[in-house]
Amino acid sequence: MPITEILERNAREFGEDIALVELNPEVRETKRVTWREYELIEPSRTAPYRREISWRVFDEKANRFANLLRSRGIKRGQKVAVLLTNCLEWLPIYFGALKSGAVAVPLNFRYTAEEILYCLKLAEADVLVFGPEFIGRIEETAPDLPERLALIYCGAETCPSFAESYSEITANSSSAAPGVAITDDDDAAIYFSSGTTGFPKAILHAHRALVHACETERAHHGQTRDDIFLCIPPLYHTGAKMHWFGSFLVGGKAVLLKGTDPKSVIEAVSAEGCTIVWLLVPWAQDILLAIERGEIAVADYALSQWRLMHIGAQPVPQSLIHRWLGVFPNHKYDTNYGLSESTGPGCVHLGIGNVHKVGAIGVPGYGWETKIVAEDGVPVPEGDVGELCVRGPGVMLEYFRNPEATAESLKNGWLHTGDMARRDEDGFIFLVDRKKDVIISGGENIYPVQIENFLSRHPAVRDVAVIGIPDGRLGEISCAVIEAKPGTALTADEIELFCRELPRYKRPRRVIFAPVPRNATGKIEKPKLRHMYGVDELVAAQNES
């Protein structure tokens, strides 16, 4: 069953029930919208901006976009890219692309203009739907965009002259099902991950994998139609969408919250009656700190219905969960591990009821197998460290247009994750290190080579290496070790000013001026750097906390 049939079933069986709510605490004034809008509690200029959509309208909007794509000549297998922040339009556009037979291509809204262009070309996109936040970046790439690429603007503000208005061109499209026959084995979506150069690789998934993500999430967390899922992470992120898939499978409501302010999260849970919340480590820590400082009084909110808090995307400190359960003793808790290559989270999970194993990523997820292997591919003994491999219905088809990387990662159906792990005597898996040189800060992947290449442009920089160092809130932060050219004076303030061209999350949080060690072949000796600056000791201390 392709995933589009789940939406059609929900529209038939639960048509007038609310499917999605968009909640934006930062918007205080009414603005022009195309769908139903009203304020959260009472009409006032201080109430958060709120919109909602039923399952019937969700399906109709998806059909309108699908029929528009078909009328424009988009055929099975062609690519439709989505560059939007979370909004009510996001998921109908995504499902509209799928219903047309096209492949949906979500783009990270943090991408620079260069990265957007790279991904559009790599995925061979024929359509790009983008929001108002990205007008400048699209204009910057305009001279190099493929001529065939259709640009569709989705936003309440005036449509730029180089694009078409989503609301206008879909208004007259039919809301009937497009009638495109789709199978489980058809290509469905491309998500992006990093390659060895630091630029993203295009990960291709079939409809079968997306449906299995729905089933995995439902099996792990037992969603029912009475559950309400609070979705905070961006929808381009597999961790957000695939966790929502559990609610989607049973026709449960979801709330798309813009912003991560602790009070906004607690207010949304209370006002919307949310029962399931997926958080990143920094957000959970910020909520606890706000409660501990007295900025949030838990007793002032309706939170008794909140039954599950789960975390993924980065290592989870044991102390954080113990603190959380001290404040919310009735919460169930789960940790979820996954990759975009495994259709997001759930190929390994801690499992509700295994709080005594906090610190582990867990056991194989629903329908998944795992093994830990040495360099030669032979499984290692219990307790030994090796590379974690996973196999299941959610494994990617391939890295699109990259057969070499596909062959390196996919071997006999097993996905080699690049993560080093060990298994204890109870079968629980613990991550030890990452084989790939990636820093995970607040759930976002930071690729050191990109920052190193950028910093090397500075005229006073002789050499540079970027490593991750543990951080109590973000999990890791990036640290730049910079070797200045002889006779030059370079300060941390100058580096900070120079790095303002980078997105904020990619800017080094710490700068050390020191020689950069390289081996005989010219490669940076990052293990030596980590040892020199006490990263090993900090990791050990963090694991013990």
Instruction: Give pLDDT tens digits for 462-505.
Output: 889 999 988 888 888 999 999 998 888 899 999 999 999 888 88
Residue extents of the structural domains in the chain: 4-259, 308-434, 439-544
What does the pLDDT read at residue 320?
A: 81
How many Cβ atoms are within 10 Å of 106's Cβ, its own excluded? 26
| Residue 38 scores a pLDDT above 60 | no
Backbone angles phi, psi at 74, to 5 degrees: -75, 125
What does the pLDDT read at residue 163?
A: 96
pLDDT digit string (tens) for 68-108? 999 999 999 999 999 999 999 999 999 999 999 999 999 99
Alpha carbons 216 and 31: distance in angstroms, whole number:
39
| Residue 32 scores a pLDDT above 80 | no
For the domain bounded by 4-259, which CATH number is listed? Answer: 3.40.50.12780
What does the pLDDT read at residue 536?
A: 54
Alpha carbons 145 and 123: distance in angstroms, whole number:
13
pLDDT digit string (tens) for 289-329? 899 889 999 999 999 999 999 987 666 777 788 889 999 99
Mean pLDDT of the chain: 89
What does the pLDDT read at residue 462?
A: 83
pLDDT digit string (tens) for 183-239? 999 999 999 985 434 578 999 999 999 999 999 999 999 999 999 999 998 999 888
Per cent of the chain over pLDDT 90 is 67
For 98, the 3-state DSSP assignment is helix
**pLDDT grade, residue 18 (50/70/90)?**
very high
Alpha carbons 493 and 469: distance in angstroms, whole number:
20
Same topology, domains 4-259 and 439-544? Answer is no
Tell me 536's DSSP state. H
What does the pLDDT read at residue 48?
A: 61
Scan for tokens 């790599």, then name that residue.
122
For the domain bounded by 439-544, which CATH number is listed? Answer: 3.30.300.30
| Residue 39 scores a pLDDT above 80 | no
Contacts of 50 (CB under 8 A, 6+ apart): 21, 22, 23, 24, 37, 38, 39, 40
How many Cβ atoms are within 10 Å of 226's Cβ, its own excluded? 11
Does residue 440 or residue 45 have the better pLDDT?
Answer: 440
What does the pLDDT read at residue 198?
A: 58
Architecture per CATH, domain 308-434, reads as: Roll (2.30)
